[in-house]
Structure 1
Amino acid sequence: MIVVTGATGGLGGATVEHLLKRVPADQIGVSVRDVAKARPFADRGVRVRHGSYQDPAALRDSFEGAEQVLLVSGNDPTADMVSLHRNAIEAAVTAGARRILYTSLHAAIPGNPYPPSEVHIATEAILAESGLAWTALRNGAYGTLEQVLGPWQQTAVIAQPEDGPVPYTDRAEVAEATAVILAGDRTFDGPVTLTSPTAVTFEDVAKIASDLTGRTIKRVVLDDEQWVADQIAIGVPEQVARLMLTFYQASRAGYFAEASPLLTELLGREPSSVADRLATHLTA
């Protein structure tokens, strides 16, 4: 059995949908905090059990019979996510799972100034010490491009701090590739990187957007502190703004510059490019 945590969330839920196309429903389980929200999966024959990273006993029950467990990483900045991930890993060990797949982060390496990297580095270390086979899926940045680029369609300007090349990745394709790994015969040990095959800068994106729209979309580099102040002025909490700033700082230092061909291999096709994604949004 394959058990997926966080199955009522975006990445976990999409992964289950892709698994249902590849394996029988009775070979899939989900571990969720709110069982009622997973009713659509239960109606299709998926085993639904309550599980929470804060409740090790519930996790052990929800992982019962699992050969593989997909641990979708938490992202609560107020919680001790490393300890919560440890709870999940230990529960999987106790439940007798053979392999854990964990959703990590692209460039989760020492020195990366983007703070979530520290959580993933620590969690990967726990996995390495667990005694189980494990795979860390170091996923590329898969937030919506609209969130990253700002209101460029209204302003004709991409006004963000100095950045660097990033292989912006489609979450739906990460979910599909994750399901391919879980359902397939090919195994991956340790960290693997799942990203779009091409890293781009905001300058590149401005050129792409200009070509798509027939308008001149300018790239304007904002001072870091001015950008933070602007974000606060429009209602973004300062903590959130400063966290996002560290992402730009990591990108400009080159931490996200390296892309990987593995996503392309797993999908069996070329992943969506930034141009594809912008075009889809423009025609939606």
Structure 2
Amino acid sequence: MFDLGLSILCSSLIFVIFKLFSVYKIETLYAIITNYIVASCCGFLFYHGNIPVIEIPEKNWFWGTFALGILFITIFNIMAATSQKLGVSVASVATKMSLVIPVVFGVIMYSEQLGALKILGIVLALVAVYFASHKGKSVTIQKSSLLLPLLVFLGSGIIDTAIKYMQEIHIKEAEFPLFSATVFGAAAITGLLFILIKSIKNPLRPNLKNILGGIILGVPNYFSVFFLMRALQNGTLNSASIFTVNNVAIVMFSTLLGVMLFKEKVSLKNWAGIALAVTSILLVALT
């Protein structure tokens, strides 16, 4: 549970940092690419033993990192746009509503058992996510922006499912840092290729502020994945329970941070969502 708590904390900080990007006019793309370079370096730094760089492509999880890397940087950019245009809580909720995808995957692929109270907890979690994200009529959301949360939902669900699958089938616990470093490295390479192609028409404009923003983002981003993978090794909770607690707790925590740090408006429905989130966590984790 300690690893899960640390993953929740790091993931919640990511949404806050995205919001700060808009406050301090940090260019998201450059910061995100820097973030992945930093996250990859963290993985190599925390890997115990010699780093078999030549042997990495021989790992049975290696090629999967490229697909994950591309998905990571794509969803991260969409997540940042969602946070800045629609608010921290909306971005968080769109991400965490995706818990249904890995939960269903765990039940189908690994025959994970869900008791009546756990199922009730998952249903309450989805209701909590809806109420916590509900915006009042005074908040105007353009129709074109509605696609952003949908893409974040689908992409986040696929990422969580892929991490669970590769952790379950391919990766030893000692290789978690190495795997994470490779995934983040693939994301960084994808981003660098993108801006190099983009620079043909528009010259590169990296600056110290963007780099610092990426460094600040990179550390919690790495540990959010690292601690989630360690939490999935937990023998007490199955993956359905872990993803439910993880995602709903992030919704709750990031919404509260949005209120405290950015004065985001919270309605009675939002508070009801937070209360339901607490209830769902208790039902899933303690039954």
Same-fold call, TM > 0.5?
no
Larger radius of gyration: 1
Which is bigger in relative contact order (C-alpha 8 A, separation at least 6)? 2
- TM-score (ref. length: structure 2): 0.24
Q: TM-score, normalised by structure 1?
A: 0.24
